């Protein structure tokens, strides 16, 4: 079984090298976009956890010269096309959403996150950190997306997973959990795809008594 998984990884690795993508993870986005129509020409896209840039490359191809892609990661990302900009920032930092908005030409159509925690080997810890990153992506998406916008976020399945999906359902009209072929079958990673952002949740107005 492990040999089969190794061959699968090697297959996408070779394809990425041949096609000029910076990581084999590019094919996860390609497959999910083909299935759900996440990216459109002219879109403004935010890619969180973007290093080394495989998803940035796919997004830039899909949105074309009339679109714009902003990549965010803790580490520097080598330059890409003229419609791609990158930032060094922590998606868990409360200030990052404001920084992202300042670097967008307008509100985003799509927020992507393929961010992963540093794997500790302790499953409960890795799952919790993955959910924390996903919630960070959701928080940023809630600040920068236009109404009707789309979200795609990776997360490891576990006991906190249903609660995260429920949070996303409150903010989007349509939510689907999916796993692309490029992901290893044995991996607990899945992607939550959401469409139809409802807009920022606002506090209910105070009612006057009397």
What are the mean pLDDT values of the chain's consecutive 10-residue runs (210 residues total)? 52 70 87 96 98 95 97 95 94 96 98 93 92 97 98 96 97 96 82 94 44
- CA nearest to 116, candidates 155, 157, 59: 155
Place of tokens 């916008």: 149
Measured CA angle at 21 (ends 189, 115), to 5 deg: 30
At residue 207, the pLDDT reads 45
Q: Which CATH superfamily is domain 2-197 in?
A: Vaccinia Virus protein VP39 (3.40.50.150)
Please state the domain extents for the chain. Answer: 2-197
Q: What gap in Å lies between CA 93 and CA 118, rounded to an integer?
A: 17
Q: Supply the DSSP symbol for 32.
A: H
- 28, 34, 154, 195: which is the annotated catalytic residue? 154
At residue 205, the pLDDT reads 44
For residue 66, the number of C-alpha atoms closer than 13 Å in the C-beta half-sphere is 5
At residue 8, the pLDDT reads 53
At residue 12, the pLDDT reads 65
Q: At what angle do helices 2-19 and 26-36 cross, to 10 degrees?
A: 90
Place of tokens 């490891």: 156
Q: Supply the DSSP symbol for 74.
A: S
Burial label, 117 (beta-carbon count in 10 A; 0-12, 13-18, 19+): middle
User: Is 154 among the catalytic positions?
Assistant: yes
Q: What gap in Å lies between CA 70 and CA 79, rounded to an integer?
A: 11
């Amino acid at each position: 079984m492990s040999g089969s998984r190794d061959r699968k990884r090697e297959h996408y690795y070779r394809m990425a090298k041949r096609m000029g993508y910076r990581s084999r993870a590019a094919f996860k986005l390609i497959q999910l976009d083909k299935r759900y129509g996440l990216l459109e020409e002219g879109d403004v896209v935010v890619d969180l956890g973007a290093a080394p840039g495989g998803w940035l490359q796919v997004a830039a191809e899909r949105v074309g010269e009339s679109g714009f892609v902003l990549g965010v990661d803790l580490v520097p990302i080598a330059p890409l096309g003229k419609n791609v900009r990158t930032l060094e920032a922590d998606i868990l930092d409360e200030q990052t959403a404001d920084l992202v908005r300042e670097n967008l030409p307008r509100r985003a159509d799509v927020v992507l996150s393929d961010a992963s925690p540093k794997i500790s080997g302790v499953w409960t810890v890795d799952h919790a950190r993955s959910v924390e990153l996903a919630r960070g992506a959701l928080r940023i998406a809630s600040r920068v997306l236009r109404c009707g916008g789309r979200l795609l976020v990776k997360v490891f399945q576990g006991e906190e997973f249903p609660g995260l999906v429920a949070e996303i359902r409150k903010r989007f009209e349509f939510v689907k959990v999916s796993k692309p072929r490029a992901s290893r079958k044995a991996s607990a990673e899945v992607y939550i795809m959401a469409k139809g952002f409802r807009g920022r949740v606002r506090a209910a107005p105070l009612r006057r008594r009397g």
